[in-house]
Structure formats: C-alpha cells, structure tokens
Amino acid sequence: MKYSVWAPDAKSMAVVTGGQNFPLSKKPRGWWESEIDAEEGRGYKFRPDGGDCFPDPRSKWQPEGVHGPSCVVDTGKLRRKERPVFRALPLHRAVIYEMHIGTFSPEGTYAGAARRLRHLADLGITHVEIMPVASFPGKHGWSYDGVHLYAPFPGYGTPRELADFVAACHAHGLAAVLDVVYNHLGPDGNYLPKFGPYFTTAVSTPWGQAVNFDGPWSDEVRAFVIENALMWLRDYGFDGL
C-alpha cells in the first residue's frame, strides 16, 4: 500500500510499522510517500526528522486511542456495491433527531443504536443527526474535542459498524447526518502541528487553535478538510454533514 503524509517542513520522514523503519520519498508540495507491503489492520506511525513517532494525521482508525498507532483501513471497502439509492426528504419536511451514540443505547455503540432506530422511525423522525464521532481522548465525551478527524471513536465500534449504522438508518427510511467540527481540534492527542502548518495564530477560538484556512499552505489544509467530508459521504454513506 502507499503510505503518504503531508509534512512540508520535515527534512526526512519514515513510517514505522512491524518494528521496522521505512523511509518515505519526498514529493512535490510537501508530501512524503512510498509503497510498502502492509495488510489491512497493520499498525503504524510516522517519524519526522528521525525523532519521535506520531499517529497519521489522516488515520482512518485509532483502536488504541488518540496516542496509539494508526491502523491501516481501506474505507473504500466500506462502500456497499448493493447500496440502494436513498433519497432523504427535503429539509423543509425534515424532523431531525440529534443522537449521541454513547448514550442512546445501553451498549453505547453503533450496533446498539442501530437496534433502536425503529423507535425513531415510528415517532415520525426523518433524519438522524449523530454528534461528532472523530476520535477524542478518554472513554466518554461529545467529541467536540476530537483530534483524529478521519478516525471514528473506537469506543463506539469499528469503521465497518459505523457504515452498518448508516445502512440501518436507510433501511428504516431515516437519513443519516453527521455533526462535524472543522474550526478547531482538541488539545490532547492533537499531533497535526508535528507535521505542518495546520493552524494559525492570526485568529483565535475559545476552544483551541484556529485552523489555517487562508494562510500560507492553506490549500493543503483545505484539501485535508474537504477530503474528510468526502470520506464520510462517499465511503460511509452519510447523507449530509
């Protein structure tokens, strides 16, 4: 598979996986990448400039938490070839239920929430908006302090189970909407500054460093956010963000 990471200020970059250190090749626009044999589920971290190792900024799965190794996941495999076309009701007809996965069911999981969707449909709900699922530190939270935007919180279940939850929503006639946070990240486990200028001091937020949407290198930061949004819609099947 191709390991790649954006780190425009790094002088060298390696991926550490299976107890081995593999150097990456420098590419245009601050990217580093190399093709390295790796199976689904393999853990890895990146090592900029021969120093400490950090999780992948675009990690798709953090099963050991925000500080642990990233895990190889091909979210393209989450797409259901047999996925029927689902057409959500227009917003002017929507009845939206905001759901916190961790408290909606006794299990506090995607699978547990999926088993209770019939109740929402019977109430006349048309759209389920789940609160953010980006991985955050600890075991409980609302994920407004998420730090791995591409990696669903492991305490709720696996990426496949999240995709199955979205499919279950559609099976009950419910649109699935995901709450996302793109103006800041939480402080604990936020390793993006180790890789590049993801943040700016030109503006501030009351929750953390502001994301660099319009400063130097901001084109790559905007692409980071846009590609994240596309992943939720394309691979997981969400109907909106």
Radius of gyration (Cα) for the chain, nearest Å?
19
Please name the helix (run of DSSP H) or strand (run of DSSP E) that holds residue 20, with its range, or none.
Answer: strand 20-23
Query: Predicted confidence band at 83 (pLDDT cuts at 50, 70, 90)?
Result: low
- Here the tokens at position 146 are 């998420």
Residue 47 near residue 16, CB atoms below 8 Å: yes
What is the reported pLDDT for 219? Answer: 98
Residue 117's CATH number: 3.30.750.90
Sign of the torsion angle spanned by Cα atoms 186, 188, 191, 196: positive
Query: How do residues 196-226 score in pLDDT, each as one tens digit?
Result: 999 999 988 888 889 999 999 999 999 999 9
What is the reported pLDDT for 117? Answer: 98
Residue 29: inside a domain, yes or no? no
Residue 6 near residue 27, CB atoms below 8 Å: no
Is pLDDT of 54 > 90? yes
Residue 195: inside a domain, yes or no? no
- Here the tokens at position 235 are 């691979």
Query: How do residues 35-53 score in pLDDT, each as one tens digit?
Result: 998 889 999 999 999 999 9
Q: Rounded to 10 degrees, what is the CA torsion of 184, 97, 99, 83?
A: -90
Mean per-residue pLDDT for 56-65? 98
Residue 173: inside a domain, yes or no? yes
* Total domains present in the chain: 1
How is residue 98 annotated by DSSP? Answer: E
What is the reported pLDDT for 37? Answer: 86
Query: How do residues 87-143 score in pLDDT, each as one tens digit?
Result: 899 999 999 999 999 999 999 999 999 999 999 999 999 999 999 999 999 999 988
Phi, psi of 93 (to 5 degrees): -110, 5
Residue 123 belongs to domain spanning: 78-182+223-234
Residue 50: inside a domain, yes or no? no
Q: Confirm whether pTM is higher than 0.75.
A: yes
What is the reported pLDDT for 81? Answer: 64
Residue 18: inside a domain, yes or no? no
CA dist., res. 70 & res. 89, Å (int)? 37
Residue 227: inside a domain, yes or no? yes
Residue 238 near residue 177, CB atoms below 8 Å: yes
